[in-house]
Amino acid sequence: MKKIIYLVLISAFFAACGGADKSPNDTKVKTKSGELSGVLANDIYTYKGIPYAQAERFMPPAVPAPWTGVKEALDYGPACPQLKQSMEGISAKILPGESEDCQTLNVWTPEINGKEKRPVIVWLHGGGYRTGSSFEQPCYDGENLSRKGDMVVVSVTHRLNALGFLNLAEYGEKYAASGNVGLLDIVEALKWVNQNIEKFGGDPDNVTIFGQSGGGGKVTNLVAMPDAVPLFHKAIVESGSLNTSMAPRYSGMIADSVLNRLNISPDNIDEIQNVPYEQLMMAGEAVIPKIKQIAAQEGFVIYQFGWCPTVDGTIIPEQPFDGSAPEISKDIPMIIGTAKNEFNSFYSQAKDTTLESVREVLVQLYGDRADEYIEDFAKAYPEFKPMDLIQQDLIFRTAAVDEGLWKAEQAEEGGAPVYMYMFNWESKNNPLRAFHCLELPFVFYNTDMDTSLVMGPFNVKIDDSEKTQQLAENMSQAWINFARTGDPNVPGKLPEWDPYTPEKGATMMFERDSKVVYHHDKQLMEFMKDFPFAGFD
């Protein structure tokens, strides 16, 4: 009898241990649509190309068709069709092609089919609202972040450009949502997370969305969308404070002009479903500059005009951040930030210059107030070099400060806090300095990867110095801590990171020796209000 009891206990012990073992042959996970198999490597389970939705062209997404058997989730799904970019350095080896059936997501997780619930962080890629995918840059890989943070990382591919944002609402109820289906895809992905992520070891009640550039713009819109807000709990905007979106008047004018160029009338509107993608996009590209000029003459200017979400009063009830933060997301803490040089360094790649030569450029920009600009800049950055005056980003920083300030004002009335940062690290041999996208390998803890894709034509290597690697360690940990608790502080590693408030204006400077400054550029930001950005071309 004792022997039987002993054997039962031993069996129970090994059964319990077996639940924690990671077998490379057992990666099966059951989702609402069917069973998946992935890959287990380096103690992280990876699933790629998981269908989270399906949709006809210009129609809202629906749940994906169920499947029988086990679907292999081993490769990324296709990117949304997009006009080819001229940027060199993009490796075709990682691009699996394009398709209008592009609603897939990817998951990295330390555990499947267990009982532990880990924080979930959902990545939204950049590229404005026109280009990009969840896999276009090697540093988007979520394995290292998942392992380091003991968290579930998800990345999403969705509809873009005309396919995601052509506003045909005036042509019948059928097309009422067409101007925002790109964002509705993301909402559907968040619903998939809510319904399925427990099987992947995630907590559906602790979901953070984060995005950079256009991905940050998507986050900014999602915090203003009633259908989206219940599906996530924290939000991070990286170099993407696209605080306002298209007004229906102008997105409708684009649609009218596109249809005219395609010889499609309201009576045969459904013919647009069959127009080849290239023709559809070329029609849009031809008319958008003209509509943008009309809008500017009427006083409507936004950062990303054209292929952009539409504030339709329903899906997006009002402009996301336009003098105030959305009330519906007042309880969602946020991180908002920028890179020090962003796009400005593309326009001014001089390694060094004189104050006299820079002044000539500043006079063209600010007229007889050029000296005032230099004085305000010197107060913000006392150790500046002349080239900083033309290479420092004042486009995204200005918008980020607005977004952060409105969120901070909401926090003073009982809302969740907001944290502000600036990414200042730069490669010693990089003429682009701390430019747009450079923080991504640090956030994803992927600084050991080939970063040539991140830099476009500039094959910039991230050095393996102790301070650089410590910055990657600390910045990724800040994102991990925020996703876990809503507080990005990393005690003992980073200075105390206070929430951004109208009074203190705390900004974390991520650099080789990180520091926190308080309203350091407040006067400079006030100056820039007299020279508002007219939007990207």
Judged by DSSP in three states, 35 sits in: strand
What pLDDT score does 2 carry?
A: 45
The domains of the chain, with CATH numbers, are: 37-238 (3.40.50.1820), 327-528 (3.40.50.1820)
Residue 513 pLDDT > 50 = yes
pLDDT tens-digit readout, 17-27: 444 456 666 99
pLDDT tens-digit readout, 263-319: 999 999 999 999 999 999 999 999 999 999 999 999 999 999 999 999 999 999 999
Residue 366 pLDDT > 90 = yes
Q: What percent of the chain has pLDDT over 90?
A: 83
Which range is least confidently modeled, 88-92, 165-169, 326-330, 498-502?
Answer: 88-92
Point out which residues pair with 120 in neighbouring strands: 152, 207
Q: What does the mean pLDDT of the chain come to?
A: 91
Reply yes or no on whether 125 is catalytic: no
- Burial code (b: 16+ CB inside 10 Å, e: under 16) for 409-437 equals bbbeeebbbbbbbbbbbbbeebbbbbbbb
d(CA 397, CA 338): 6
What pLDDT score does 536 carry?
A: 81
d(CA 19, CA 22): 8
Reply yes or no on whether 342 is catalytic: yes
On the 0-12 / 13-18 / 19+ scale of CB atoms within 10 A, 318 is middle
pLDDT tens-digit readout, 454-476: 555 566 778 888 999 999 999 99
Point out which residues pair with 212 in neighbouring strands: 238
Selected catalytic residue, list 111, 188, 342, 426:
342
What pLDDT score does 474 carry?
A: 98
What's the pTM? 0.93
Contact by Cβ (8 Å): 244, 321: yes
Selected catalytic residue, list 134, 146, 178, 213:
213
Selected catalytic residue, list 125, 158, 233, 436:
436
d(CA 20, CA 374): 61
Phi and psi at residue 120, to the nearest 5°: -120, 135
Phi and psi at residue 176, to the nearest 5°: -60, -35
Contact by Cβ (8 Å): 158, 182: yes
d(CA 453, CA 441): 11
507 or 462: which leads in pLDDT: 507
Contact by Cβ (8 Å): 136, 95: yes
Reply yes or no on whether 436 is catalytic: yes
